[in-house]
């Protein structure tokens, strides 16, 4: 079993839709949960990170962590064609104690 | 220049060649990382440097040799590579090893081994 599972998609939705991207994990020691966005031919860009459980909002993006279910989500409201990219989840345990473990990435396309 | 830069952006090399990838970060960070990104696979951590000292080698074959002369520069020296080493090689940095959750990536070097 992989430590982090992420559906690779592809996921295609119309402009303006609410997008839900998800990852599940098996390691209960994970404390930090990150979402990266990667455009084609570019490196990953950190969108946001969350420590432990709860929600975090940044503009149209909301990250949720449910540690009891070992499940994290990224919601994108009012999706735009410019949101079309691959979204990577990543997790780590204690500060400096463990490396980042990435999901495979979900390829998202927002259709105008 | 801002952020994390990598050169070259594209590299084609034969299995007997020797080449080097370069990474430079302009963020004042002290930790730097090399990752390998292959199609349909998660990012794989290769090496970690913290304050110029290598702190992690993730069972990487010896045909990959990292070098970190200072906190701003990171190199990956390549020799006698195999076709399966073709991938996107990404460099990242963070404030230090404790801030692994906040890493900033460069654009990557697309490597093709023929």
Could you report the per-residue pLDDT of B59-97, keeping only the tens digit for each? 899 999 999 999 999 999 999 999 999 999 999 999 988
Q: Which residue has the tokens 């290598």?
A: B54
Chain B partners of A8 at a C-beta cutoff of 8 Å?
Answer: 40
A96 touches chain B (CB under 8 A): yes
CA gap B29, B96 in Å, rounded? 6
Closest residue, chain B, to A43 (C-alpha): B107
Residue in A2, A100, A104 nearest the CB of B40? A104
Q: Could you read off the pLDDT tens digit of each residue along chain A, which spans 112 residues?
A: 789 999 888 999 999 999 999 999 999 989 999 999 999 989 999 999 998 888 999 999 999 999 999 999 999 999 999 999 999 999 998 755 568 899 999 999 999 9
Could you report the per-residue pLDDT of A74-102, keeping only the tens digit for each? 999 999 999 999 999 999 987 555 688 99
CA gap A83, A62 in Å, rounded? 14
How big is the CA angle at A82 (ends A79 and A107), to the nearest 5 degrees?
80
B66 touches chain A (CB under 8 A): no
How big is the CA angle at A86 (ends A97 and B99), to the nearest 5 degrees?
20
Whether the Cβ atoms of residue B17 and residue B112 lie closer than 8 Å to each other: no
Task: Specify the pLDDT at position B57.
Answer: 85
How big is the CA angle at B31 (ends A35 and B109), to the nearest 5 degrees?
70
């Amino acid at each position: 079993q992989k430590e982090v599972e992420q559906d690779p998609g592809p996921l295609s939705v119309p402009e303006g839709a609410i997008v839900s991207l998800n990852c599940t994990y098996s390691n209960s020691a994970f404390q930090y949960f990150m979402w990266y966005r990667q455009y084609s031919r570019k490196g990953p860009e950190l969108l946001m990170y969350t420590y432990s459980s709860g929600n975090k909002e940044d503009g149209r993006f909301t990250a949720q962590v449910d540690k009891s279910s070992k499940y994290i989500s990224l919601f994108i409201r009012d999706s735009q064609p410019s949101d079309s990219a691959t979204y990577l989840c990543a997790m780590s345990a204690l500060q400096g104690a463990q490396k980042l473990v990435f999901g495979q990435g979900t390829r998202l396309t927002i259709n105008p | 220049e801002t952020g994390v830069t990598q050169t070259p952006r594209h590299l084609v090399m034969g299995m007997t060649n020797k080449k080097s990838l370069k990474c430079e970060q302009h963020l004042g960070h002290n930790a730097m990382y090399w990752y390998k990104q292959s199609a349909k696979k998660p990012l794989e951590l290769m090496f970690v440097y913290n304050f110029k000292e290598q702190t992690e080698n993730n069972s990487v074959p010896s045909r990959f040799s990292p070098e970190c002369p200072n906190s701003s520069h990171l190199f990956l020296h390549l020799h006698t590579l195999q076709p399966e080493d073709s991938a996107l090689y990404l460099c990242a940095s963070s404030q230090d090893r404790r801030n692994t959750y906040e890493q900033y990536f460069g654009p990557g070097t697309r490597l093709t081994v023929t």
